[in-house]
Structure 1
Amino acid sequence: MLPLSNPDPEALLVGRVWRPGIGPALVLLRGETLIDITSPEWPTLRDLLEQDDLPARLRGADGTPFATLGDVTGGADGAPRLLAPCDLQAVKASGVTFAESMVERVIEEQAAGDPDRADAIRKKVQAAIGDSLSGIAPGSDKAMEVKRVLQAEGLWSAYLEVGIGPDAEVFTKCQPMASVGWGAEVGLHPMSTWNNPEPEIVLAVNSRGEILGASLGNDVNLRDVEGRSALLLGKAKDNNASCAIGPFLRIFDAGYGMADVDRAELTLKVEGEDGFVLDGHSSMTKISRRPADIVAQTIGRHHQYPDGFMLFLGTLFAPIQDRGTPGQGFTHKLGDSVTISEPKLGSLRNIVRLSTECPPWEFGTAALMRNLAGRGLL
Structure 2
Amino acid sequence: MRYYQYLQNGTKHVGVEDDAGQVTDLTALNSQIGSTLDLFKAASITGSDIDSVARGILAANKGAATTSAAELLDGAKPGCHWVTLLPPVDAPEVWAFGVTYMDSMRERQAESGSPDVYAKVYDADRPESFFKATLDRLQSPFDDVGIRADSGWDVPEPELAFVTYGGKIVGYTCGNDMSSRTIEGENPLYLPQAKVYDKSASLGPALVSKESIGDAQKLSVTLTIDRDGKEAFRGEANTADMKRDCEYLVGWLTRHNSIPDGTSVMTGTGTIPPPEFTLQAGDVVNITIDKIGTLTNTVVVV
Residues 66 and 293 from structure 1, CA distance in 2 versus in 1: closer, same or farther, beyond 3 angstroms?
same
What's the CA shift string for 1:251-297, capped at 9, x where partnerless? 122x532x2x1011111111111845211012111111122111000
Classify the secondary structure of the residue corresponding to 1:349: strand
Report whether the alignment pairs 1:82 with 2:71: no
Q: Which residue of 1 aligns with 2:13?
A: 25
Residues 279 and 88 from structure 1, CA distance in 2 versus in 1: closer, same or farther, beyond 3 angstroms?
closer
CA contact (8 A) 1:36 1:66 kept: no
Classify the secondary structure of the residue corresponding to 2:191: helix
What's the CA shift string for 1:220-242, capped at 9, x where partnerless? 11110111222222221122222
Classify the secondary structure of the residue corresponding to 2:140: coil
Q: Which of the two has greater strand per residue?
A: 2
CA contact (8 A) 1:75 1:81 kept: no
Q: Which residue of 2 aligns with 1:129?
A: none
What's the CA shift string for 1:23-61, capped at 9, x where partnerless? x32222243334142756443333322323122111122
CA contact (8 A) 2:90 2:262 kept: no
Q: Using the aligned pairs only, state the percent identity.
A: 26
Q: Using structure 1 for the length normalisation, give the TM-score.
A: 0.70
Aligned residue identity for 1:246: G
Q: Which residue of 1 aligns with 2:232?
A: 277
Classify the secondary structure of the residue corresponding to 2:104: helix
Q: Using structure 2 for the length normalisation, give the TM-score.
A: 0.86
What's the CA shift string for 1:90-125, capped at 9, x where partnerless? 111101111121011112222x8xxxxxxxxxxxxx
Q: Which residue of 2 aligns with 1:156?
A: 116
CA contact (8 A) 2:35 2:90 kept: yes
- Counterpart mapping for 1:1-378 below 5 A: 12-22=1-11, 24-30=12-18, 31-37=21-27, 41-50=32-41, 51-52=43-44, 53-54=48-49, 55-62=51-58, 65=65, 68-69=68-69, 70-71=71-72, 72-76=75-79, 78-110=81-113, 156-157=116-117, 159-206=118-165, 208-253=166-211, 255-257=212-214, 259=215, 261-273=216-228, 275=230, 277-300=232-255, 302-320=256-274, 328-355=275-302
Residues 343 and 166 from structure 1, CA distance in 2 versus in 1: closer, same or farther, beyond 3 angstroms?
closer
Aligned residue identity for 1:89: P
Classify the secondary structure of the residue corresponding to 1:316: coil
Residues 13 and 79 from structure 1, CA distance in 2 versus in 1: closer, same or farther, beyond 3 angstroms?
same
- Residues paired across the two proteins, number: 287
Task: Give ranges in structure 1 of 5+ residues lacking alignment.
Answer: 1-11, 113-154, 321-327, 356-378
- 2-side partners of 1:315 and 1:109: how far apart? 17
The CA deviation at 1:78 is 4.6
Higher Cα Rg: structure 1 or 2? 1
Classify the secondary structure of the residue corresponding to 2:205: strand
Aligned residue identity for 1:217: G
| Moved beyond 6 Å, runs of 4+ | none
Task: Give ranges in structure 2 of 5+ residues lacking alignment.
Answer: none
Aligned residue identity for 1:269: T
- 2-side partners of 1:47 and 1:239: how far apart? 29
- 2-side partners of 1:237 and 1:187: how far apart? 11
CA contact (8 A) 2:223 2:285 kept: yes
Aligned residue identity for 2:285: V
